[in-house]
Structure 1
Amino acid sequence: MITSLPSVLSPHLMALRPRQWTKNLIVFAAPLFASRFTVQDSLAAALAFALFCCASSSFYLLNDIADIDSDRRHPVKCKRPIAAGLVSIPVALGMAGLLLGGSLLISWRHSVALGGIVTGYALLQVAYNLRLKRTVILDITAIATGFVLRAYGGAAADRIVLSPWFLLCTGMLALFLGVEKRKAELRLLETRGGRTRSVLKRYSLPLLNRMENVVTTGAIMTYAIWSSGPQVQGASTPWMMLTLPFVLYGVFRYQLLSDPQEIARKTDELGHETGGQSERPEEILLQDLPILLTVVGWVSTSFVILSLKSQGLI
């Protein structure tokens, strides 16, 4: 019996964790806010997006190889293609080497800046998986740094100089996502038990709540300052203040989804545990309609404002 090509490629594609690629969309922020909408600019940002997808997927493959034994004992992770035996370890190693080597080679050929950023991202992933993910506070910092490097990558691919306020806001929002991720993991540990990350032993919900307050305030303030206009080396027009409500709602909605009382309410209504979405930011973007509409509204409003500014209409 001849096996169809799609059935062969499907587990190999799923092993790359394409749902995680939504994290790399931040590379498009730099050309968007710089009002760079030409075909060449779009292709440069798309290249950065593809390179970060390849680099990140290579480490997902390596992680799944390293964790294959524990994944096979996990009720959910046992379904991952490598743990389930749908993708062999030699093939996974070859895929990881090809993706990582290709992303590094192409990035350096494009520009020294982009090559340095992609290389820095790869080194960060090595440090995170070897040590940082088991080191309290530094684990969240490493997650945030990965997002900042992605934003830098989008700018480097298109030779754009980013505002310091934009970078600070990106870092604060990334820290917010990291804190929310740990909160969700801790919540799942308390409700379901079982094996989990060793670093969670050093965290508590009160501590994470205090950290959340700091980074949430920092993210909103830095975005508000950036959007207030060129007077503070921020956005090219103060009309970007119109996008602030989207940021506020998005942050508050994200907090709602990770709130224990909200999780308990949904559990009572549906009869099963529905919490833990904020453990996986890519799942919220793809599955929570209000968050998705907020992102679409923010992007659309920003595009209209910056387009009118580039044409001198505002």
Structure 2
Amino acid sequence: MTTQETRTKQGGRFPLVAACRPRQWTKNLLVFAAPLFAFRLDAAIWYHGLAAFVGFCAISSSIYLLNDCLDVEADRAHPSKCYRPIAAGRVSVPLALTTAGGLAIASLSFAAWVAPPLAGILLLYALIQVGYCLQLKRQPLLDLFCIASGFLLRAISGAVAAMLPVSPWFLLTVGMLALFLAIEKRKAELKIAQEQGVMTRRVLERYSLPLLLRLESLVAPSAFLSYALWAAGPALRGAPTSWMLLTVPFVLVGIFRYQLLSDPEEAQRRRRLAPERTSEKPEEILLGDRGIQLTVLSWILTTVAISLFHYSIR
């Protein structure tokens, strides 16, 4: 990718919008996990899920703006982050901070109007992420839990907004998968930093690839087993039907595929074709990798089919 292409992708004609990182809003689709896992097709429930999605898009963008303002000097030393609108000087720090504040207020106000508990979840997310931006991202292991908490709170918000009961296996699955993504993100960042000789995150100095591989070997099977126990059905306070065991292979394939893409040697081979599609940016893999897309689509179609069959025989 040329410098001009990267610059266009990072800013385009609307640099302030690009600074809000709309491509990362795909993470907020997790708010729909609770209604989907509960096999609830009621329009009102999905309406509240949509409200949670909008709220998280606004609050997460405010955090991205704050983070980029705090990291502006470090981003300018990064090979790709230097093209972000704030680091590149296309959006001023005062404008970014003002926009961040406006988005946060709008998000919390909207959430409080839809469902007060949802506003509480968004506020908790904001507090954790502000702590992450200010200090926790420099603390090894704690930084991983902060990243994972964002995914977990997204999943919880969908249930809270729609007042749905949540299976403990569901929460454990989301939490473990979120930790898995956080570890893969740090692994990719560390590999790039070692190759280029520039530590763009201070916390990377406290990590090593062997350590991250050991953490991965603990979290990945834990995520898979948690999902399998949830899919086993009502007997284990899991899915509404044990037919969800049919989706277990898709989860396993998805984990395997992501591990393949995050493997240092494989990532180096693929970097020549798609430099942005690394586990450093999970949203880019979701949006760009055909294997992950097919796996997610197969899981969704199978889950919807099981849901419809489950309701047809009730």
TM-score clears 0.5: yes
Cross-structure match for 1:191: 195
What is the aligned partner in structure 1 of residue 303 from structure 2? Answer: 302
Q: Percent identity?
A: 53
| Superposition pairs of residues 1-314 of structure 1, within 5 angstroms | 10-266=14-270, 270=272, 274=275, 277-312=278-313
Unaligned segments of structure 1, at least 5 residues: 1-6
Q: Which amino acid aligns with 2:218?
A: V
After TM superposition, give the deviation of residue 248 of structure 1 in Å: 0.3
1:104–1:115: 8 Å Cα contact kept in structure 2?
yes
- SS of the residue corresponding to residue 198 of structure 2 reads coil
How far off is 1:201 after superposition?
A: 1.1
CA-atom RMSD in angstroms = 1.9
Instruction: Give the Cα separation in 1 of the matches to 2:293 and 2:185.
Output: 18
Measure how far apart 1:265 and its partner are. Answer: 4.5
Q: What's the offset of the Cα at 1:241?
A: 0.5
C-alpha spacing 1:10/1:244, structure 2 compared with 1 (3 Å): same
How many angstroms apart in 2 are the aligned matches of 1:181 and 1:80? 19
Deviations 1:211-254 (A, max 9, x none): 10111111010100000110000000001011111100000010
**Residues matched between the structures, number:** 304
Report the AA paired with residue 161 of structure 1.
P
Question: In 2, are the aligned partners of 1:263 and 1:274 still within 8 Å (CA)?
Answer: no
Does the aligned pair in 1 maintain the 2:74–2:200 contact within 8 Å? no
1:13 maps to amino acid = V
Contact 2:78 2:200 in 1 (8 A): no
Report how far residue 68 of structure 1 moved: 2.4
| Structure 1 pair 68–247 and aligned structure 2 pair: CA distance change class (3 A) | same
Note the C-alpha offset of 1:13: 1.1
Asked whether the equivalents of residues 29 and 154 of structure 1 are also in contact (C-alpha less than 8 Å), the reply is yes
CA contact (8 A) 1:33 1:306 kept: no
1:256-314 Cα deviation digits (max 9, x unpaired) = 111123234446xx5x895970111001001111001111111111111112112226x
Q: Is the 8 A contact 1:229 1:237 kept in 2?
A: yes
CA 1:190–1:162: 2 relative to 1, 3 Å: same
In the alignment, residue 313 of structure 2 is paired with which amino acid? G
Structure 2 alignment gaps of length 5 or more? 1-10
CA distance in 2: counterparts of 1:8 and 1:233, whole angstroms? 48
User: Contact 1:246/1:297 (CA < 8 Å) preserved in 2?
Assistant: yes
Alpha-carbon distance in structure 1 between the residues aligned to 2:136 and 2:92: 28
- Say whether the 8 Å CA contact 1:165–1:225 is kept in structure 2: yes
Partner Cα separation in structure 2 for residue 69 and residue 82 of structure 1: 10
CA distance 1:64–1:277, shift in 2 (3 Å):
same
Q: Matches of 1:84 and 1:264 in 2, distance apart?
A: 26
Cα 1:275–1:192 shift into 2, 3 Å: farther
Distance 2:113 2:122 in 1: 12
Instruction: Indicate the SS of the match to 2:14.
Output: helix
Structure 1 residue 8: Cα displacement: 9.3
Contact map agreement 1:108 1:115 (CA 8 A) in 2: yes
| 1:78-98 per-position Cα deviation (integer Å, ceiling 9, x unaligned) | 221222232233322221111
Given residue 112 of structure 1, which amino acid in structure 2 is its aligned partner?
P
User: Does the 8 Å CA contact 2:199/2:205 hold for their aligned counterparts?
Assistant: no
Checking the alignment, whether the CA contact within 8 Å between 1:258 and 1:275 is kept in structure 2 is no
Q: Distance in 2 between matches of 1:192 and 1:156?
A: 44
Structure 1 residue 66, shift from structure 2 partner = 2.0
Instruction: Tell me by how many angstroms 1:196 deviates.
Output: 1.5
Deviating more after overlay: 279-288 vs 38-47 = 38-47
8 Å contact kept, 1:113–1:156: yes
* Distance 1:201-1:273 versus aligned 2 partners, 3 A rule: farther
Q: Secondary structure at the match of 1:85?
A: coil
- TM-score relative to the length of structure 1: 0.91
The residue matched to 1:277 in structure 2 has which SS?
A: coil
Question: How many Å apart are 1:130 and its aligned residue?
Answer: 1.4
